[in-house]
Amino acid sequence: MAEILRVEHLKKNFSVPGDRGKKRSFSAVNDVSFSVERGGCFGLVGESGSGKTTTGRTVLRLTEPTAGRIFFDGTDITDADMRPYRRKMQIIFQNPAGSLDPKYQVGDVVSEGMRANGLYGSRAERLRRAADLLRQVGLSEDDLRRYPGEFSGGQQQRIGIARALAVDPSFIVCDEPVSALDVSLQAQIINLLKALQQERGLSYLFISHDMAVVRHMADRIGVLFRGCLVECGETMEVLSHPAHPYTRALIAAIPAADPDRAAAKIHALRPAAPAEAGEGCAYAARCPYAKEVCRLERPVEREIGPDHSCCCHLFS
């Protein structure tokens, strides 16, 4: 499988309020590299604030990168005019209610991208196409004339998926697409996304804080901690042989029924505050294996197996 997306040494800094009214630079994404195979799904997993959404938005150039290169379909799009690529690179948002304009009927919401891209000759044709898409995502043609607010959260996410598909993309960033949904609905949306991927040969960058969700979707995963990709590899390999202590904590947190164990794991998962992080490994303040060098030197990425890399002094 050839890659459809490649990201090299991506960085994104934001200017945030600092001491005494001054601004300081905050590194949301720090030297992140990965690729998404054509027809594959790369899962980006990490806790809230780890830089997942910023990474997803930056590869789509919805946010401009501070440094690094982004290649789509073999072309360097880092500085490119994105208009020719917008159709092929879509996004499904975390909060379906907030991403659907409540003033417009669903038919217009779904077909807006077609209109903006000059697809199909007339509104009637676009609505026919929108009806097909609604059926494909488990809704009906009658829903064309209803408003987003009349639907449940799961149905709204199906509308968001239909909208993303309307312009016939090849690559979709799925940004926490099920995290706002009940557990029973999560499986339905995951199954729908997998079925659509197979039918249409779609490639996904699938972003989630939930390792349990990512393992169902992704064939390869990357684990983000404070903007750094700390482990990356084939999903089953990473899940069965997790190397980085943070990855191990994420996996261990999947079944957290015991409140004491859950509290201990949440402590292990919580990102270190910047003041605790120092110059070394960002995870050092939480890591049970931290040693002197971890607080002094930032670890670099090492290959630890075929298609499996880790960024930790335990593997230096």
Contact between 61 and ligand SF4 by CB under 6 A: the answer reads no
Most distant CA pair in the chain, distance: 67
Q: How far is the CB of 58 from ligand SF4 (least distance, A)?
A: 25
With contacts defined by CB under 6 A, name the span among 26-34, 71-79, 117-125, 285-293 that binds ligand SF4.
285-293
What string of DSSP letters covers the chain?
Answer: --EEEEEEEEEEEEEEE-GGG-EEEEEEEEEEEEEEETT-EEEEE--TTSSHHHHHHHHTTSS--SEEEEEETTEE-TTS-SHHHHTTEEEE-S-HHHHS-TTS-HHHHHHHHHHHTT-SSSHHHHHHHHHHHHHHTT--GGGGGS-GGGS-HHHHHHHHHHHHHTT--SEEEEESTTTTS-HHHHHHHHHHHHHHHHHHT-EEEEEES-HHHHHHH-SEEEEEETTEEEEEEEHHHHHHS--SHHHHHHHHTSS--SHHHHHHHHHHHSPPPHHHH-SS-TTTTT-TT--HHHHHS---EEEEETTEEEE-GGG-
Nearer to ligand SF4, 202 or 268 (CB): 268
Pair of tokens at residue 18: 């600092």
Contact between 267 and ligand SF4 by CB under 6 A: the answer reads no
Contact between 202 and ligand SF4 by CB under 6 A: the answer reads no
Determine contact, residues 244/223, Cβ cutoff 8 Å: yes
With contacts defined by CB under 6 A, name the span among 124-132, 168-176, 193-201, 287-295 that binds ligand SF4.
287-295
Contact between 290 and ligand SF4 by CB under 6 A: the answer reads yes
Contact between 313 and ligand SF4 by CB under 6 A: the answer reads yes
Q: Which of 80, 274, 289, 305 binds ligand SF4 (CB under 6 A)?
A: 289
Q: Which of 90, 283, 308, 309 binds ligand SF4 (CB under 6 A)?
A: 283
Q: Which of 163, 284, 308, 309 binds ligand SF4 (CB under 6 A)?
A: 284
Nearer to ligand SF4, 80 or 266 (CB): 266
Contact between 228 and ligand SF4 by CB under 6 A: the answer reads no
Pair of tokens at residue 124: 């009637």
Q: Which of 167, 287, 308, 309 binds ligand SF4 (CB under 6 A)?
A: 287
Q: How far is the CB of 298 from ligand SF4 (least distance, A)?
A: 8
Residues 6+ away with beta carbon under 8 Å from 81: none
Q: Which of 45, 245, 249, 250 binds ligand SF4 (CB under 6 A)?
A: 245
User: How many residues bind to ligand SF4 according to rule CB under 6 A?
Assistant: 13
Q: How far is the CB of 297 from ligand SF4 (least distance, A)?
A: 9
Q: Which of 251, 294, 308, 309 binds ligand SF4 (CB under 6 A)?
A: 294
With contacts defined by CB under 6 A, name the span among 30-38, 130-138, 201-209, 283-291 that binds ligand SF4.
283-291
Binding site for ligand SF4 (CB under 6 A): 244-245, 281, 283-284, 287, 289-290, 294, 299, 312-314
